[in-house]
């Protein structure tokens, strides 16, 4: 069986990663392509428990190395239990956030050692990297506005609580990553684009890089995780 395709969505909070990941998964599934839609931190029962600890247990002050290792532990379980098996079945795996988020948030924005984070995550994932990453770039002020509006209806997580200046550092970190890996990371300006316009551009870029993706038709029922 043909090996699957691993696609990730990255960007600052409020950039629309969840929306675009869902739109792409829905379109692929409508085309009969086996698709696994997942997210980080999370994606498995254990990883979701770690997600809650990382994002919502405010009374626990995490040491920087603890935070890095918890994200890596969640990712290790996610890769072993969900991502690698789906790829082995020939599925298109779409994941909201992956190693680039650890580099941007815990590395560039938090001032921790970038190479150490790379090495920890390389060990945690067995060196698995995405085949294609869509980096949704949004002006920090606009992203922050969206986060604040969303926060009125839902609790603010630990990362969002770090504020505007932290989000700006995250954005700059993502841009540095994109500049260093132009082949893998597709930088998409979200400003002034509707979600449908952005989705169409993502679809075009996917077909350009993987023109045979639509030949991956379902051979049996299933496909959604």
pLDDT above 70 covers a percentage of the chain that reads 85
Dihedral of the alpha carbons of 69, 74, 77, 79, in degrees to the nearest 10: -100
Predicted pLDDT at 220: 44
Q: Is residue 40 part of a domain?
A: yes
Q: What is the largest CA-CA distance in the chain?
A: 50
Q: Kind and range of the H or E element at 76?
A: helix 64-78
Q: Is residue 220 part of a domain?
A: no
Contact present, 5 and 136 (Cβ < 8 Å):
no
- Compute the average pLDDT of residues 13-34: 95
Burial class (CB in 10 A: 0-12, 13-18, 19+), 51: buried
Which residues constitute the domain of residue 88?
5-215
Q: Is residue 18 part of a domain?
A: yes
- Compute the average pLDDT of residues 177-184: 97
Of 57-66, 192-201, 213-222, which gets the smallest average pLDDT?
213-222
Q: Is residue 222 part of a domain?
A: no
Q: Is residue 224 part of a domain?
A: no
- For the cut 60, the answer to whether the pLDDT of residue 1 exceeds it is no
- List the structure tokens of 152: 């009125």
Predicted pLDDT at 2: 72
CA distances to 35, 83, 84 from 28, rounded to whole Å, are 7, 17, 19
Q: Is the pTM of this model over 0.85?
A: yes
The pLDDT-based confidence of 221 (bands split at 50, 70, 90) is very low
Predicted pLDDT at 64: 92
The pLDDT-based confidence of 57 (bands split at 50, 70, 90) is low
Predicted pLDDT at 74: 95
Domain count, the chain: 1
């Amino acid at each position: 069986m043909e090996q699957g395709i691993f696609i990730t969505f990255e960007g600052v909070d409020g950039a629309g990663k969840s929306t675009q990941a869902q739109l792409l998964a829905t379109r692929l599934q409508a085309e009969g392509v086996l698709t696994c839609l997942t997210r980080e931190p999370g994606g498995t029962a254990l990883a979701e428990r770690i997600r809650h600890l990382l994002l919502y247990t405010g009374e626990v002050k995490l040491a920087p190395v603890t935070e890095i290792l918890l994200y890596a532990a969640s990712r290790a379980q996610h890769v072993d239990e969900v991502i690698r098996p789906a790829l082995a079945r020939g599925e298109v795996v779409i994941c909201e956030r992956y190693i680039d988020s650890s580099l941007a948030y815990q590395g560039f924005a938090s001032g921790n050692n970038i190479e150490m984070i790379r090495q920890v995550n390389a060990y945690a994932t067995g060196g698995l990297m995405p085949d294609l990453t869509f980096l949704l770039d949004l002006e920090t002020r606009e992203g922050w506005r969206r986060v604040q509006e969303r926060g009125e209806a839902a609790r603010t997580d630990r990362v969002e609580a770090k504020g505007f200046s932290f989000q700006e550092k995250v954005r700059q970190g993502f841009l540095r990553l994109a500049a260093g890996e132009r082949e893998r990371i597709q930088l998409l300006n979200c400003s002034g684009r509707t979600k449908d316009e952005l989705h169409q551009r993502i679809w075009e870029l996917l077909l350009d890089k993987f023109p045979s993706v639509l030949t991956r038709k379902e051979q049996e029922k299933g496909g959604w995780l």
